[in-house]
């Protein structure tokens, strides 16, 4: 059944955190907005990624932290209560009931439409609703694609019969597999290896390359490998899966390796990358290729589409597949749409937010592994490739920071600060160790704000917190300058 087209100032495809932020900013500018969502309002992050994964990980890390403190470790006398952890997770994902987030969309004054939205030519969206009805929407000013990404599974013999886990099964399952293989060295792989080992699985982490979290500084992977191994995870580097077998529907999975040996497990999780959810959203109707990432400018306008009406934010633009970065992009897109609709210069957008500059030099990322890992800005290698004359400052956190010693007996961790020699500004910071994710925003402010080293001396860290690390980094930088005299 079709109806007459409904017209809005803006249409947002995708009701996850990114789409919600785009809609919120456009509504704040006084525009009428429709949000189209085909699954749960709140998206991957709320139900199968960030929120449930951290709900699973926090009890594991809390127990690990307690075991590092004399006097506290004696209180840890049993295994983690997996059923309790799953119940806590279920509360945080509201038992996969999105009514609260749906109400939020309606409460900001946006119109929520449940169904599969597809572009149908310029400024036009067709929505197939849950009851197989058909709606047509038109946009006066903008359509914003916030459809996210999906897991990529390799084309291996037997993979269909093996029924592997992706991030969804890894975060919504409520039974602990006795033996779990995790394939992948990135964030999903190392976090889920940490979580499920803590919940009671015998975990084997399989890595094709030679480093965990390979996009971070090499020492992060080294310390993480050491920590995961100490926790009981079997970390295997330089291995490639050739094929999978699951002879019986409810039986174990056998992984065959290129190297000739095999591994039998109860479940296997593939954490081997993401692809854009753009294959079935009508890109071909506006001259774009279905299934591709979308290239945007710094206001999140899709470059290849004439007249500037199509925007995109979040995973689909492939700048940083991180929820917080997608929300940042969406806020800028919404503000830019509002300013352009009103015929105003972009620099008059609310709070001066009019360009995604952080995408290029200040993207923060945190991994809730044991030990934790966090970084923002450029690595030493990236700084060199970008042509910076950079000074690299390393500090062993447990050796020099009193707050870290009090946080954990025998604290092991490292920090790196990359400083541009000419501007004397921080280009990047990398941290690994217990509790370091809570230090990340201070580093992000230093990098995004391009704060000079001389000014950072006046940001006094509170004693005795792990933040005293900042003073030790500055002292190491000062001492390195003396050595050059």
The domains of the chain are located at: 6-46+93-150+276-358, 153-272, 371-479
Model pLDDT, residue 345: 84
CA atoms of 378 and 443, how far apart (whole Å): 12
Mean pLDDT computed over every residue of the chain? 95
Dihedral in degrees, nearest 10, Cα atoms 80, 55, 153, 125: 160
Model pLDDT, residue 484: 46
Model pLDDT, residue 485: 37
Q: What backbone phi and psi angles, to 5 degrees, belong to 390?
A: -115, 145
380-422, pLDDT tens digit by residue?
999 999 999 999 999 999 999 999 999 999 999 999 999 999 9
Model pLDDT, residue 353: 65
Q: Which CATH number fits domain 153-272: 3.50.50.60, 3.40.50.150, 3.30.565.10, 3.40.50.2000?
A: 3.50.50.60
Q: Which two tokens stand for residue 247?
A: 């002879």
Name, in order, each residue with C-beta under 8 angstroms of 78's C-beta and a sequence gap of 6 or more: none
| CATH code of the domain made up of 371-479 | 3.30.390.30
Whether the predicted pLDDT of 18 surpasses 80:
yes
Binding site per annotation, positions = 54, 117, 147-149, 184-191, 273, 315
Whether the predicted pLDDT of 221 surpasses 80:
yes
Q: Do domains 6-46+93-150+276-358 and 371-479 have the same CATH topology?
A: no
| CATH code of the domain made up of 6-46+93-150+276-358 | 3.50.50.60
Binding site per annotation, positions for NAD(+) = 184-191, 273
Whether the predicted pLDDT of 73 surpasses 70:
yes
When pLDDT is averaged across residues 50-73 and rounded to a whole number, the result is 97
Nearest partner of 397 among 410, 384, 387, 383, judged by Cα: 410
Model pLDDT, residue 256: 97
Whether the predicted pLDDT of 294 surpasses 60:
yes
Whether the predicted pLDDT of 47 surpasses 60:
yes
Whether the predicted pLDDT of 114 surpasses 60:
yes
Binding site per annotation, positions for FAD = 54, 117, 147-149, 315
Whether the predicted pLDDT of 124 surpasses 90:
yes
179-190, pLDDT tens digit by residue?
999 999 999 999
Predicted TM-score (pTM) of the model is 0.94
> 150: which strand partners?
275
Whether the predicted pLDDT of 172 surpasses 50:
yes
Contacts 24+ apart (CB under 8 A), 124-128: 124/5, 125/11, 125/13, 125/36, 125/282, 126/282, 127/36
320-352, pLDDT tens digit by residue?
999 999 999 999 999 999 999 999 888 766 655
Q: Which two tokens stand for residue 285?
A: 């109707």
Taking every pair of C-alpha atoms in the chain, what is the biggest distance, in angstroms? 79
Count of alpha carbons within 13 Å of 144, Cβ hemisphere only? 40
Model pLDDT, residue 481: 76
Query: For residue 11, what is the enclosing H or E element?
Result: strand 6-13
**DSSP character at residue 414:** E
> 340: which strand partners?
none
């Amino acid at each position: 059944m079709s109806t007459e087209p409904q017209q809005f100032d803006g249409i947002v495809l995708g009701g996850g955190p990114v789409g919600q932020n785009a809609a919120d900013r456009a509504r704040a500018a006084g525009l009428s907005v429709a949000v189209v969502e085909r699954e749960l309002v709140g998206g991957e992050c709320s139900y199968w990624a960030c929120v449930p994964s951290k709900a699973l990980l926090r009890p594991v890390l809390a127990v690990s932290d307690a075991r590092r403190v004399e006097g506290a470790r004696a209180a840890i006398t049993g295994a983690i209560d997996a059923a309790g952890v799953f119940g806590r997770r279920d509360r945080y994902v509201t038992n996969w009931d999105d009514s609260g987030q749906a109400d939020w969309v309606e409460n900001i004054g946006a119109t929520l439409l449940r169904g599969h939205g597809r572009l149908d030519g310029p400024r036009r969206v067709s929505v197939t609703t849950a009851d197989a009805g058909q709606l047509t929407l038109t946009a006066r000013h903008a359509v914003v694609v916030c459809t996210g990404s999906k897991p990529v599974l390799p084309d291996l013999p037997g993979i269909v019969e093996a029924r592997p886990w992706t991030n969804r099964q890894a975060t919504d399952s409520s039974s602990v597999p006795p033996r779990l293989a995790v394939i992948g060295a990135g964030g999903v792989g190392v976090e889920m290896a940490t979580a499920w080992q803590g919940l009671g699985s015998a975990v084997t982490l399989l890595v094709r390359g030679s480093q965990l979290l390979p996009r971070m500084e090499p020492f992060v992977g080294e310390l993480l490998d050491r920590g995961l191994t100490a926790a009981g995870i079997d970390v295997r580097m330089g291995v490639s899966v050739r094929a999978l077998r699951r002879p019986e529907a409810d039986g174990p999975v056998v992984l065959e390796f290129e190297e000739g040996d095999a591994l039998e497990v109860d479940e296997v999780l593939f954490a081997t990358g993401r692809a854009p959810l753009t294959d079935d959203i009508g890109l071909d109707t506006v001259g774009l290729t279905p299934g591709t990432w979308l290239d945007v400018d710094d206001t999140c306008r899709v470059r290849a589409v004439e007249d500037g009406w199509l925007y995109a934010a979040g995973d689909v633009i492939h700048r940083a597949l991180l929820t917080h970065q997608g929300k940042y992009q969406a806020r800028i897109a919404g503000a830019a749409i509002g300013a352009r609709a009103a015929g105003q210069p972009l620099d008059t957008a609310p709070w001066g937010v009019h360009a995604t500059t952080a995408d290029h030099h200040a993207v923060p990322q945190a991994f809730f592994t044991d030990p934790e890992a966090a970084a923002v800005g450029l690595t030493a290698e990236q700084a060199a490739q970008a042509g910076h004359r950079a000074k690299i400052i390393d500090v062993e956190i447990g050796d020099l920071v009193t707050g870290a010693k009090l946080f954990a007996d025998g604290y092991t961790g490292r920090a790196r600060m990359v400083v541009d020699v000419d501007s004397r500004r921080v280009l990047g910071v990398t941290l690994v160790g217990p509790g370091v994710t809570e230090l990340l925003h201070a580093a992000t402010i230093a990098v995004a704000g391009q704060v000079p080293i001389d000014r950072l001396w006046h940001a006094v860290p509170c004693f005795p917190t792990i933040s005293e690390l900042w003073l030790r980094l500055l002292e190491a930088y000062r001492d390195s300058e003396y050595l050059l005299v």
